[in-house]
Chain A
């Protein structure tokens, strides 16, 4: 009955149903139709599978662009569209009845697939049920599917099994595709293991070395103590020998006296005078007394001296048993911050990504690079620990051991340098924040620049001095290198500072091939682009040009090679913020940037018709402005500038006017209207203020610069349309140097033109192209206190830095949306700490370098 109804419908709308059964990606009949949450249906394979790119977690519906989260088991996890499925089955039946009809729409493949699935009730031996097939609802012999609870008839079982089979095959192929990931991880793990082994070896070597050295120290201590004991023994023995000799003398004198007396008395013929007897008697008494003194011990014998080796054994063994410590620090403290998306996606990777660093921590050794005090402590323990204590009850003085120990101490030069301090640095590196390293690096280079500058000032003429200076700066600058393999991941775009980049005027030496630190460095050999752009200019012309140039070489930047602000090391953005949108922190084509005296960043959020204010770390402070033509309203604002009074000057582009605000963002005044006369503007763009408060405006479609007083009164205009010197084609932005020159980005002429503040043409630099020093549609421009010119080379998607006279200094950036990449960068500005703020227009974000 149901069948009949649908058949009727089909006769009406065969083609329509045919279309409904067609996947809009492969334009074929659905194969395993999957229903997305937005109710659109597509084939699982290859259509939806093909949509999922790489490790993406989301899937965008091709019909309505709705984003859906991918189920954990991939697109297979989306529910089947059962309605479509049953329609597909219906078609099958139709095919059986009149298969020729379908041929046209369904295509040959679909038709042949249909033919194989004609149902034929076959008696089933399995436990049959009579409640109806779950798929076709027919009451035939039914069997329970072996793997799910569905009860199906024979043909449906077949197709069901077929489907399950396909599912399994697909899963297997998915698994296969997954294998490389796992094997990638495997190789990563292998690498890590290898690295770890190496680190372990290094650590072991460290331990051995330190221990060996302490053993050596102990040995020499042993020798010293032995020597002292020997000395002591020698002295003691000497005094005992003296004593012994005295006693021997005593014995000899007593016995000789005895002999004398006896022989005198035993001589028969000799008369012994009473005097002599008397003397003998007195002498006898004397000797008797001395002997008695020996007998009762009242005669002082050399005192008994104790000799002991004293030491606080426990203390030393405590020190030894606690000596050293193996600490293992996860190295991904930095990486996780930036790679969180990746780690989310495939957790096993992230867990292996962090290779522990073996760190033989020697108390403060990682905090300071000087020889660690702890080690000194340890050795002084060793020196003091086994002090030879001698106690003597008498005043008898042996050479005092502490003093000897101390004198030895002084002689012994302690080998401080032998410890490889590099390893301790290495181990410390992951703990130090990136920022910290950069800061340190910055200060290093600052020192180098200072020193370099001083040496140079002593002898500004001789190129030799310059070269000397370079050497000095080379010795002072520390290349910023990826500290270890893990952080190298995130540092991959970091620019290695190569001192060789330094460039010297009048120095025709080869730009030495610079140590390209891996493929990532963007440092390039320097090439001069003085006035190369115009190849036809004959020599006299170019000489004149140079003469002119030298007249105005007053900027510091023209005679120093390395800026205080270390542009060479920039290239990876420190801070990035913003995306397309109109909420706070979102932009729609951000254009002009200005920095206030408080180091806040003003962004002209062009198509949101407002100014957003951030602090120098990118924290949102406030915004003002809205769309309109009244006071304080904008229509696609562009350039923005802050004058010396702190007022904010904003170019209201499509209203052809300039608006001035106080530093709170309150409207002060507006001037300018559409037109070509003096004081009138036509699509003005960039704006800058000099120290006197004059406002310079790029009057873009009038191809000129106009100067106004801070109250909006017209002062002067200069420049005409054209390609010659002093002529413009769409000047976009401008900036005023510390020595009061006006640098204008003559965008469609692909050059920078330089004028005096009175509008006299001085010189220009840049030619169209993508090589160093060449420009393509230059936009924003800013000049640092030394006179280095930073240009947003918009068409080349890079920032270029020039000396004040137009010589190329360095550059960074490339096309793209990663860190340090741009899509149509617009303006540049400088913070007081030397960081460059860049508006990355087509990425709708701000980057700080």
Chain B
């Protein structure tokens, strides 16, 4: 029987037992491969004080292929598009099975602390970030207040 792989069970256990500070992830009631994630905006970033909702899905091939992650809260970030899709190399070609849900979520948190506008993703926000970083950071703060603080 093609059950839930032990690896996913183990990861879930560990996520629940030793949560990463500032991150919570819990599996969906009807789909053990689907996780509801909350990420706190990191300190000293424009996202500080915000609580961002994400969703994460472990595809059939996991861990041989990367989990799928998306922001469900609107966020103004050069590497995250209007639909919450994340441009992060470890979610694409740099995925490695030695990475885990935990490490992925940590990487996303780190991405919030250190946006990378040089990333190739064709994106208005990235361009704005490059052109006028100050204004962009202010905008990101506004968005955080507007969309991510209601929690």
Using CB atoms, name the residue of chain A closest to B120. Answer: A842
Give B123 Cβ to nearest chain A Cβ, in Å.
11
Give B116 Cβ to nearest chain A Cβ, in Å.
13
- Which residues of chain B are near A469, meaning CB under 8 Å? none
Q: Is the Cβ of B131 less than 8 Å from the Cβ of A28?
A: no
**How many angstroms between the C-alpha atoms of A50 and B97 in the bound complex?**
10
Mark B95-119 against chain A: 1 for CB-CB distance below 8 A, else 0: 0111110000000000000000000
Q: Is the Cβ of B120 less than 8 Å from the Cβ of A824?
A: yes
- Which residues of chain B are near A50, meaning CB under 8 Å? 64, 97
Query: Which size class do A's interface residues fall under?
Result: 20 to 34
A786-826 at interface with B (beta carbon < 8 Å): 794-795, 824
Q: Is the Cβ of B10 less than 8 Å from the Cβ of A63?
A: no
**How many angstroms between the C-alpha atoms of A60 and B97 in the bound complex?**
10
Q: Is the Cβ of A26 less than 8 Å from the Cβ of B131?
A: no
- Which residues of chain A are near B124, meaning CB under 8 Å? 748
Q: Is the Cβ of A25 less than 8 Å from the Cβ of B120?
A: no
Is residue A65 within 8 Å, beta carbon to beta carbon, of the partner chain? Answer: yes
Q: Is the Cβ of A47 less than 8 Å from the Cβ of B131?
A: no
- Which residues of chain A are near B98, meaning CB under 8 Å? 24-25, 62-63
- Which residues of chain B are near A701, meaning CB under 8 Å? 127, 131
- Which residues of chain B are near A65, meaning CB under 8 Å? 94, 96
- Which residues of chain A are near B5, meaning CB under 8 Å? 26
- Which residues of chain B are near A683, meaning CB under 8 Å? 127, 130-131
Using CB atoms, name the residue of chain A closest to B8. Answer: A27
**How many angstroms between the C-alpha atoms of A27 and B97 in the bound complex?**
10
Is residue B146 within 8 Å, beta carbon to beta carbon, of the partner chain? Answer: no
- Which residues of chain A are near B64, meaning CB under 8 Å? 50-51, 53
Mark B58-102 against chain A: 1 for CB-CB distance below 8 A, else 0: 000001100000000000000000000000000000101111100
The B interface, classified by DSSP as helix, strand, loop or mixed, is loop
If A25-B63, A701-B131 touch, whether A841 touches B97 (CB-CB below 8 Å) is no
Q: Is the Cβ of B96 less than 8 Å from the Cβ of A26?
A: no
- Which residues of chain B are near A682, meaning CB under 8 Å? 131
Q: Is the Cβ of B6 less than 8 Å from the Cβ of A777?
A: no
Is residue B7 within 8 Å, beta carbon to beta carbon, of the partner chain? Answer: yes
- Which residues of chain B are near A25, meaning CB under 8 Å? 7, 63, 97-98
**How many angstroms between the C-alpha atoms of A65 and B127 in the bound complex?**
31
Give B2 Cβ to nearest chain A Cβ, in Å.
13
Is residue A733 within 8 Å, beta carbon to beta carbon, of the partner chain? Answer: no
Q: Is the Cβ of A589 less than 8 Å from the Cβ of B7?
A: no
A42-70 at interface with B (beta carbon < 8 Å): 47, 50-51, 53, 60, 62-63, 65
Q: Which of B10, B94, B96, B131 has the largest number of chain A CB atoms within 10 A?
A: B96
Q: Is the Cβ of B6 less than 8 Å from the Cβ of A26?
A: yes
**How many angstroms between the C-alpha atoms of A124 and B120 in the bound complex?**
69
- Which residues of chain A are near B120, meaning CB under 8 Å? 589, 824, 841-842
- Which residues of chain A are near B97, meaning CB under 8 Å? 24-25, 47, 50-51, 62
A-B contacts besides A28-B7, A842-B120, 5 pairs, CB < 8 Å: A25-B63, A50-B64, A51-B97, A60-B96, A62-B97
A interface residue numbers (CB < 8 A to B): 24-28, 47, 50-51, 53, 60, 62-63, 65, 107, 109, 589, 682-683, 701, 748, 777, 794-795, 824, 841-842
A-B CB contact pairs (8 Å), 7 listed:
A25-B63, A25-B97, A27-B6, A28-B7, A28-B10, A47-B97, A65-B94
